[in-house]
Amino acid sequence: MTSPYDLTRIAHQLSQLPRWLGRTDPFYSVAEHSCRVVLLVPDPAHRVYALLHDAPEALVAGDVPDPEKFAMVAAGYDLIARERRHFTALCQFLGLPPIPADAARAIEEADHALRHAEYRDLVPHTPERDWTPEGFQYRPDYAARYRRTIVPRPAEQVRADWLQRTSAYAGITRETIRKGAA
């Protein structure tokens, strides 16, 4: 049996998981989101954590929006804690130290800014076609942190990019990734 932290499998799953519950047009994956979050994290030492921040979504329940996660916790199923446990275990598996508090804050800020840029560029929100999630309040000032226009890439390209970045940032070899063990 392969490790649950087989990076090739995680990369594949993340490249197939839709962001925004599939509300984007065109398709936009969690893997691509993670590769873009990295671009907003200023400290190079924190980029590996930024790249991995949503990796547990490939292991647990997919990209569940925060309001639903909070409702699940209130109903007795703590998806947030499960994702945190998988994130911690994945970091340990890769030989990484626990995520520093300043890295967690920087990633949360980058994730939030990118969420607004994704909405700006990818989620239809016109009177004729409005796919805005209930309760979401678009903030152009947050979106402005990500100055590029988001144009999604093919899944194969994103999967390869995620694996290459994981290898580079975590200091592991492509051979190690192929074996599924760090």
pLDDT digits (tens, 9 = 90+) for 37-54: 999 999 999 999 999 999
List the structure tokens of 180.
């599924």
What amino acid occupies position 70? F
* pTM check: above 0.75: yes
Mean pLDDT of 117-121: 97
Given this model, what pLDDT does residue 172 score?
Answer: 84
Mean predicted lDDT score pLDDT of the chain: 92
How far is CA 77 from its chain centroid?
Answer: 21
Note whether residue 165 is domain-resident.
Answer: yes
- 60-73 pLDDT, tens per residue? 888 888 778 888 88
**180 pLDDT exceeds 70?**
no
Does 98 fall in a domain? yes
What does the pLDDT average to over 139-151? 97
Closest CA to 146 of 106, 105, 115, 103: 115
CA-based torsion, 6, 19, 167, 104: positive or negative: negative
Given a cut of 80, is residue 175 above it in pLDDT?
A: no
Answer positive or negative: Cα dihedral of 67, 70, 71, 72. positive
In a domain, 1, yes or no: no
pLDDT of residue 182 exceeding 70: no
Per-residue pLDDT, 68:
83
Sign of CA dihedral 169, 172, 175, 179: negative
Number of domains in the chain: 1
How far apart CA 157 and CA 143 sit, in angstroms, is 24
- The answer as to whether 2 is a domain residue is no
The reply to whether 86 falls in a domain is: yes
Domain contains 21: yes
Q: Comparing 75 with 110, which gets the higher pLDDT?
A: 110
Nearest alpha-carbon partner for 94 in 26, 158, 165, 41: 165
pLDDT reported for residue 139: 96
Three-state SS annotation for the chain: CCCCCCHHHHHHHHHHCEHHHHCCCCCCEHHHHHHHHHCCCCCHHHHHHHHHCCHHHHCCCCCCCHHHHHHHHHCCCCHHHHHHHHHHHHHHHCCCCCCCHHHHHHHHHHHHHHHHHHHHHHCCECCCCECCCCCCCCCHHHHCCCCCCCCCCCHHHHHHHHHHHHHHHHCCCHHHHHHCCC
Does residue 19 form part of some domain? Answer: yes
pLDDT of 31: 99
Would 102 be classed as within a structural domain? yes
Q: What average pLDDT does range 109-113 have in this prediction?
A: 97
Q: Domain span at residue 78?
A: 7-179
pLDDT for residue 179: 60
CATH number assigned to the domain comprising residue 171? 1.10.3210.10
